[in-house]
Amino acid sequence: MVSKVMMVIPVVLAVGYSSVGLDSEASDYIRPGREAMFEGTLSGLRTAYYIFEDGLNDAGCTDCDDNRELRFLHALTRSYMLLIRDDGAEIDSALELAREFGINLKGDFFFPFALDLDTIPLNDHGNYEIPAGAPDAEQVREILDTQTIPELGEIIAELELITDDPGDRFQVFFLPEETGLHENLELDYGEVLILKGLLTAAKGLMEAESAYDIFIDPNDMIAEKIYGDSFHVNEDLLEPYPHLLQVLPTEGHPENGATILAQARQDLIDSIDFYMAAIAYIRSEEDEQENDLLYIDPYNY
């Protein structure tokens, strides 16, 4: 598959956007949301998500709930919010989690983005050092289990609401003034299937990680021992943590790892099915694919 443009998708603290009001239409949210999406900034992408969210929550909107473009753009930007949400509440994005470890972004650009090297904590040897108070492995697992994995499931379910059939194809066209290209850029049901596949695979991988015992005492000096070249696998890791990387349940961890792994396996199989369905869908398209976001070169199939 060939990607013809980097899709704009991150967004930051969208404050100040209010509901359009009674008797509004989906276009009242799609238009400003798309403008924010294509700003090329993290804040613009966040703003777009909140605009689309307002549209789907607007009880006075005559067609928002059934509008497939609004639904897709909401799911798309919602997916990126898992990476870039920054609302100062609970830790429920990769950016907010990284900040707990002293990793911050510099500037507001979506692409290219840069790390703020001045905030990265270093020890006396010039090596990265996990800051005091950063979440330990169990706390990270809890974030994934209670925040990220359920959110992925909800986004996938939202994408399931988008339909497509030969007589009523799902199509979204991004304009040259939005993308900077010389022609319209088309997204269709092939992209819906690809996005479902990516999110389902991510969900399965996170579930698989949650099936194993990964407890290490947060006060353990393992990192310092590694930096000091005095780390020994048996003495420092396997002996004090005999259950490390064993499938749950283990002592103090009652979760059923086998059940979690079974769900992870099914999600990974489903993600492959989505991917294969996307390939079949894209190959079946009879119209010209040159302006599609994703297309298959017939000479490289």
Tell me the pLDDT tens digit for each residue of 181-192.
Answer: 999 999 999 999
pLDDT value for 289: 67
pTM: 0.86
pLDDT value for 108: 93
pLDDT value for 290: 66
Helix axis angle for 68-84 and 42-57, nearest 10°, is: 130
How many C-beta atoms surround the C-beta of residue 73 within 10 A? 24
Mean pLDDT of 10-35: 68
Q: Is residue 10 predicted with pLDDT exceeding 50?
A: no
Residue spans of the domains in the chain: they are 2-211+255-300
Mean pLDDT of 67-78: 98
pLDDT value for 146: 94
Percent of the chain with pLDDT over 90: 65
Burial class (CB in 10 A: 0-12, 13-18, 19+), 31: exposed
Say which range, 67-76, 137-146, 239-248, 284-293, has the weakest mean pLDDT: 284-293
Q: In whole angstroms, give the CA distance from residue 53 to residue 57.
A: 6
Q: Is residue 19 predicted with pLDDT exceeding 50?
A: no
- Report the relative pairing of strands 2-3 and 294-295 from DSSP bridges: antiparallel
3-class secondary structure, 251 = coil
Rounding to the nearest 10 degrees, give the CA dihedral for residues 48, 52, 57, 61.
130
- Report the relative pairing of strands 171-174 and 185-188 from DSSP bridges: antiparallel
Who's near 99: CB < 8 A, 6+ residues apart?
none
Q: In whole angstroms, give the CA distance from residue 177 to residue 194.
A: 25
Alpha helices in 26-148 (DSSP H): 27-37, 42-57, 68-84, 94-100, 137-143
Question: What letter would DSSP give residue 280?
Answer: H
Contact 148, 92 (CB under 8 A): yes
Q: Which residues of 224-256 are buried (b: 16+ CB within 10 A; e: fewer)?
A: eeebeeeeeeeebbeeebebeebebebeebebe
Contact 129, 99 (CB under 8 A): no
The closest of 200, 198, 172, 175 to 186, measured between CA atoms, is 172
Backbone angles phi, psi at 162, to 5 degrees: -85, 120
Instruction: Return the residue matching tokens 């966040």.
Output: 46
Tell me the pLDDT tens digit for each residue of 172-226.
Answer: 999 999 999 999 999 999 999 999 999 999 999 999 999 999 888 877 877 777 7
Q: In whole angstroms, give the CA distance from residue 75 to residue 138.
A: 29
